[in-house]
Amino acid sequence: MSSLRVLVGCKRVIDYAVKIRVNASKTAVETAGVKHSMNPFDEIAVEEAVRLKEKMGKKISEIVVVSCGTAKAQETLRTALAMGADRGIHVQVEDDAKLQPLGVAKLLKAIVEKEKIDLVVLGKQAIDDDSNQTGQMLAGLLNWPQATFASKVDIAEDNAITVSREVDGGIETISSKIPAIVTTDLRLNEPRYASLPNIMKAKKKPLVKLTPQELGVDVAPRLETLEVSEPPKRSGGKKVESVDELVDKLKNEAAIL
Ligand code: AMP
């Protein structure tokens, strides 16, 4: 029985509770002075890796967490280490906004190969760009099987991995062999809060910094953002007196029926 090395991606994103504003030049959303946190689906990914290690003991030899971004990404990695990951890798880039899913997937591929990773756990999507691409692209680049949108993960002694996925109308259960890529959905687990002692311990866990150049990866953006705009303001609703009036308005004013 060989033990498994797990890699988890942790992106630093604008906190889910912040009201997003578009910047004045309409090129991106405003990030300056805005609260950031670990992408919620990545918290679920870290939690799942830690639970697998707690459940399977020595079968999981190490959980490595990686964040690609500016120096602040290290805060996100420290949170993941406080949740129970063993080691962090920060891939430093100058501008988060210029890093796109293909670039991240190439960086992750280089780390998978360098670190001899067996299982990659990513979030199903980053809540800032909503791309939902990185896991799938990484699976393509590595030619590994992928189980996306996982709501349950089981690994057997013989490295068979079984994943339940929430699909329209029910749950699909698929099985594959490790090495593999899993992306997490909301209902997979409820991530733990890092306790104060664990936050203190996490400060001493190893964290290395690498650059895309050191990994031999070109992260130049392939897509150009033309414009970012706010959704149209909602106009106020109207009260109707009867179902007939409602149907009339839907037909003649809203032209929905
Ligand atoms: P996306 O394809 O951008 O929606 O992101 C999907 C998942 O890929 C995220 O939930 C993360 O697990 C991982 N990921 C994306 N960007 C990064 C990043 N800059 N650093 C680390 N992991 C990332």
CA of 129 to the centre of ligand 1 (A): 9
Atom 12 in ligand 1: residue holding the nearest Cα: 122
* Mean pLDDT across 150-171: 94
Say if residues 165 and 186 touch (Cβ distance below 8 Å): no
Residue 254's pLDDT is 84
Atom of ligand 1 nearest to the CA of 137: 2
Nearest to 11 by CA among 83, 51, 84, 67: 67
> Does any ligand 1 atom lie closer than 6 A to the CB of residue 41?
yes
What contacts 130, CB < 8 A, 6 or more positions away? Answer: none
* Mean pLDDT across 208-213: 98
> Does any ligand 1 atom lie closer than 6 A to the CB of residue 99?
yes
Residue 238's pLDDT is 84
More confident residue, 240 or 238: 240
> Does any ligand 1 atom lie closer than 6 A to the CB of residue 93?
no
Average pLDDT taken over every residue of the chain: 95
pLDDT digits (tens, 9 = 90+) for 96-147: 989 999 999 999 999 999 999 999 999 999 999 999 999 999 999 999 999 9
Exposure of 18 by Cβ count < 10 A (0-12 exposed, 13-18 middle, 19+ buried)?
middle
- For residue 51, name the pLDDT band (cuts at 50, 70, 90): very high
Bridge partner residues of 67 (DSSP): 90
